[in-house]
Amino acid sequence: MHYNPIETRIVAKFNVTNTSIATQIIGYPSVNQFSEIEIDGIVQPSVTTTYTFNSTGEHIIKYTLVDPTRIGDYAFYNCSTLKKITIPNSITLIGNNAFDTCRILNDIILPDNITAIGGYAFQNCYELTSINIPSKV
């Protein structure tokens, strides 16, 4: 089955405050969940867990999923500067600890197609004060 990459990409905003330390952009060991990442409009030559930004402020990262129906376990674990994330409609499952320790995550949009959310998916997301869980979950 062929999927349109636009429909299967996760779009995230990171709030970078320090350019001397690499920012975690994918939860270890979740690199194999993504086939491509685009940072601030530039497709990266390889998928990696960290990235060193050259400026502070908000940066947009787009992730193309290998399996466009799921965000696997620990996908964004400890991405502590992840602020906002939009999940595509193709996603039906969010794995265990997927967003665990995304400390400043305060905005997440879950599509209506989600049917399962794993344990501790939003643990230690201190800024996330509310979330709309689809009725199918």
Quick: pLDDT tens for 36-65. Answer: 999 999 999 999 999 999 999 999 999 999
- The Cα 71–Cα 52 span in angstroms is 24
pLDDT computed for residue 28 by the predictor: 85
What is the rounded radius of gyration, in angstroms, for the C-alpha atoms of the chain? 14
pLDDT computed for residue 29 by the predictor: 85
Identify whether the C-beta of residue 93 lies closer than 8 Å to the C-beta of residue 116.
yes
Backbone angles phi, psi at 30, to 5 degrees: -90, 10
Express as a percent the part of the chain with pLDDT over 70.
95
Identify whether the C-beta of residue 127 lies closer than 8 Å to the C-beta of residue 103.
yes
Question: Helix or strand or coil: residue 32?
Answer: helix
Question: Which pTM value belongs to this model?
Answer: 0.91
